[in-house]
Every structure is written in C-alpha cells, then in structure tokens.
Structure 1
C-alpha cells in the first residue's frame, strides 16, 4: 500500500472552524505528509501559509443545492485562491426526481470551469444502490475525476459496501466516520484511492505503528 499519508486528506470543516484551526490542521498535514481539506474562505491564506500541502476545498457544501452558477463561481474562486482539488456536493434532489441529465450538466459545468481535479460528493448514505450507481455514472459522464462517499454532515458516512460499488466507476474518496487506521485500511482494501478524515493524524500514527510492529517482533526473536 503505497504512500498512505499522501492519500489521506486531513479535514477541518464545520460551522465553527477558525483560521487557527486551519493553520493547526496544515501544520499536522505538513508534519505527517498528508493533504488537507479546508473551508473555501481560508484557501488563499492556507495556500500562502503551507505551499507544500496539497489543498482541497468544498463547493456547494454541505447540501449541494446551490445554483449551478454559484457552484461555478465557488469553483473558480477556490482555484484562483490556490486550491489543488475541489470536492463538489452533487444535487441529490435532482437524482431523486430522476433529473439525471440536469445533474450531469451541472457537474460538467463545474468540471469545465477549472483545470484542477473535481470530486463529486454523492452522499451515498442517502441513496439506495440503484441511485448510487446512477450518481456515479452521472459523474463519469460529466468527466469528473473522483466520486466521494459523503460530506459527513448528513446521515451516516463511508461504508465498505458503498466504496466497492463506487470503485466500479471512478477513483473513490472515502469520507465520513473514518477515525482509525483499521477503518481506513478497510476502505483502501476495497479500492478507495483517498481517505478524508478529521482524524488524519490518528490514522497516520496507527498506520506507522502497524507497519513498525513486524520489525519490533523480529528484533525480539
């Protein structure tokens, strides 16, 4: 399993996130070799503060029901501020009302707005398997780069079963409720390419402890 820390996006998102929270998260990401996922209002200063950290930010967060024009504006501004990747919340209302073409068009417009990777958050906990597959196919048809399981601000989070399905379509960012190396490894084992977690430092520490244990056991023999 190659470069585990580099496949983890240490995340600080939420209504009370401060600039100090962001710089602390960036310090941890830099120390542990992780990426970071931050609120859009802090992207410009984050890019200046930690230019060696790959920064993702969110678009249409957390419910995905912004207008397409607003999402495109958010995407463009985030890229201009220094974001390396975008996590866009899909409008699941379109999916539930079977307006898949409308959803595809919106995703495609955001993708076309910026020259950086766009991950589509499909909010898998709110979908049955048929809807999840439609959401992922829509992301494929719109030329998105990744699909992401969840925002973490709705019902549930990442599951092994959802990641297995999503991995049939595009690279997957598993996010929502992943707080340990055991949970992250389970997602990697079924094909997740990235992990989004507010406990990225815990995951990396547990991962490094796990890979060092065999050496310690050999030394005791």
Structure 2
C-alpha cells in the first residue's frame, strides 16, 4: 500500500462521507452528519435535505448533487436546483454531466449546461463525469468542457453506473482539474491509492470506515 503523508485531520478533510440512495431518509442524513462530525469529514447528501442538514450540523461542510443521477435535467432546472441548494445552505455542488449529449458530440451544449450551474451560485462546483460510461476521448472532452465552464473539480462517478473510480481515470482527469474519486472506494487503502493517483477528494458511503483505517485513528 502506498503511504499517505497526511495527518488524521488532513486525511479526514479529503473525505466526502456520502448518503445518496433513493431510499435515503432524514434519519439517515442525521446518522451521516453525526458520523461526519465525529470523524472530521465533509458530508454529501440529497438536495431535499440540505436545509435541514445545514440547521442540524452547521459546522460540517455540506455538498449536494445537481442533476443527479443521470445529468439529463433541463439546463434551467439544473441552475435552479443549484440556486436552491445554495439558499438552503449547501457549501459545494456536484453536478452530473449530460452523458447523452457528450456521447453525441455536443460539446458546446455540455459546456453551456455546466456553465449555467457554475454561474448560478458562488459555490465550488464538481463535475461528475461518470467515467464508466465514457471512452478516454470522451472523458477528455468532458474535462475540457468543465474547464471551459470554470468548474472547480472533476468527479469520477455517481456511484450508480456499473463501475466507479479507477486509478487510470483519476490520473487522466487530474491533468485538467482537481479530482474527487467516487464510486467503489470502500477502504482506507483504496482511498490512499486514489489520493496517490492524484485525487484531492474522496466520495464514499463508507467515509467513516475509511477514516477509521488511518493509522492514527483511535476509537
């Protein structure tokens, strides 16, 4: 395993502890936020719970998703969703790229779609590329569109495709913007591997477990 130089606190701050399943309840979100606070991670949760999460855990960095999970919402709907999330107290936005338009070669439309979300709020925006569905050339096209739209991060996956983050995909995307490796990262060792490949953030439903794997963690 590749060693990671980060302290426990520094490592935990790279983790977006996540709950985004279709059956997520407010009680699930409270558990997520309690674990995030206890382990020093960020939290990523559905947009419908952002306002309640911001009230429940005002000290926790909250990310939420836009156009999730397929990315094919109308552009105006994505922008409105971003505005609502900002008003509700989100700190960061993770927006899904429109894979259909990307695969059809409609790069200008993809860029405009992402730019509308970026321009809707002052919040940092991570673009979810959904790498499992794309060729390397399409991943590069998505990354170029994200850069042109002035996004802040590239994110590998929603977690709902057939595969998630891989080292080659993290390395490819890191050529363009900071990367959030998400999808299938379930252990401290896997997270360290992604960070070593160039990721700066990790998205995982097992975020608390990942932090507990750090050598300095004590129960």
Provide TM-score, normalisation by structure 1: 0.94
CA offset at residue 154 of structure 1? 1.2
Alignment-derived partner of residue 67 in structure 2: 60
Matched, 1:36 2:36: no
Matching residue within 29, 34, 37 for 1:27: 34
User: In the alignment, is the contact (CA less than 8 A) between 2:211 and 2:217 conserved in 1?
Assistant: no
Alignment-derived partner of residue 50 in structure 1: 57
Alignment-derived partner of residue 219 in structure 1: none
Distance 1:98 1:155 in 2: 22
Comparing both chains, which one has the higher relative contact order based on Cα–Cα distances under 8 Å and sequence gaps of 6 or more? 2
CA offset at residue 212 of structure 1? 6.9
Distance 1:211 1:134 in 2: 40
Runs of 4+ in 1 over 2 A off after TM superposition: 210-213
Distance 2:18 2:54 in 1: 15
Alignment-derived partner of residue 9 in structure 1: 16
Which blocks of at least 5 consecutive residues in structure 1 are unaligned? Answer: 214-221
Distance 1:115 1:138 in 2: 19
After superposition, what is the alpha-carbon deviation per residue over 1:89-140, rounded to whole angstroms, capped at 9, x for unaligned?
A: 0001111000001100110111000000000000001111111111111100
After superposition, what is the alpha-carbon deviation per residue over 1:117-173, rounded to whole angstroms, capped at 9, x for unaligned?
A: 000000001111111111111100110000000000112000001000000000000
Alignment-derived partner of residue 127 in structure 2: 120
**TM-aligned CA distance change 1:22 to 1:111, over 3 Å:** same
Provide TM-score, normalisation by structure 2: 0.95
Note the aligned Cα RMSD (angstroms). Answer: 1.1
Which blocks of at least 5 consecutive residues in structure 2 are unaligned? Answer: none
User: In the alignment, is the contact (CA less than 8 A) between 2:39 and 2:211 conserved in 1?
Assistant: yes
Alignment-derived partner of residue 155 in structure 1: 162
Structure 1 segment 152-191 matched on structure 2, within 5 A: 152-191=159-198
Matching residue within 193, 201, 205 for 1:198: 205
Higher helix share: 1
After superposition, what is the alpha-carbon deviation per residue over 1:34-63, rounded to whole angstroms, capped at 9, x for unaligned?
A: 000000000000000000000000000000
Alignment-derived partner of residue 98 in structure 1: 105
Alignment-derived partner of residue 71 in structure 1: 78
Alignment-derived partner of residue 138 in structure 2: 131
User: In the alignment, is the contact (CA less than 8 A) between 2:188 and 2:213 conserved in 1?
Assistant: yes
Which protein is bigger by CA-based radius of gyration? 1
